[in-house]
Structure 1
Amino acid sequence: MNISERLPPHGPEAVVDYGPGEFRVVKPGAFVRCAVTGAPIRLDDLRYWSIEWQEAYASSEAALLRLRRAGRA
C-alpha cells in the first residue's frame, strides 16, 4: 500500500508547531490540514510546511503555489 492508497485519517485535527527540519505536536491528533488545498495530511506523511506562516502543505506543488500567491516565487 502506498501513501495515495491510505485511508483518510480518523480522529481529531492536531495542532502543530513547525520548526526547521522538524515539527512538534502541541495538541495530539491524527492529521493537519493543507493550508492551500484543505486536504487532510496524516502526521506520518507530513513533509512540507512553512516555519514563517506556521502552516502545512500536502505536496511540494501546494507549497510552491502558496509562495507564488504571496509573491515570493
Structure 2
Amino acid sequence: MLMNKNSDRASGEAKLHYGPNGFRVLRAGQHVFCASSGVPIALDELRYWSVEFQEPYATPQLATERLKP
C-alpha cells in the first residue's frame, strides 16, 4: 500500500491549544515537544503547560523554571 506524506500525519507532532483545565487538539498527532528541553512528550503523558505562553513542558521542574518571573 502506498502512503503519501499527509496520510501519516497523526503519528507525528500534534498542534494543541492549551487551556486552564486541559488542551484541545488542533492537529492530530502522537506528541508535542517540550518548550524547554525539546524532548517529545506523548499526548497521554502531557501534564504540564502554560496557558499564557501556549507551551508544553516535560516535567514540573521545567515548567516552574520557565514560569519564574
Query: Deviation of residue 65 (structure 1)?
Result: 1.4
Aligned-pair RMSD on alpha carbons? Answer: 0.7
Instruction: Number of aligned residue pairs: give it.
Output: 59
Q: Secondary structure at the match of 1:37?
A: coil
Moved over 4 A (4+): none
Paired letter, 1:63: A
Matches within 5 A, 1:15-34: 15-34=15-34
Paired letter, 1:47: R
Query: Deviation of residue 27 (structure 1)?
Result: 0.1
Q: Once the two structures are aligned, what percentage of the paired residues are identical? A: 51
- The structure with the larger Rg is 2
Query: Deviation of residue 18 (structure 1)?
Result: 0.1
Q: Normalising by the residue count of structure 1, what TM-score does the alignment of the two structures yield?
A: 0.77
Query: Deviation of residue 64 (structure 1)?
Result: 1.1
Gaps of 5+ in 2: 1-10
Distance 2:21 2:64 in 1: 18
Q: Normalising by the residue count of structure 2, what TM-score does the alignment of the two structures yield?
A: 0.82
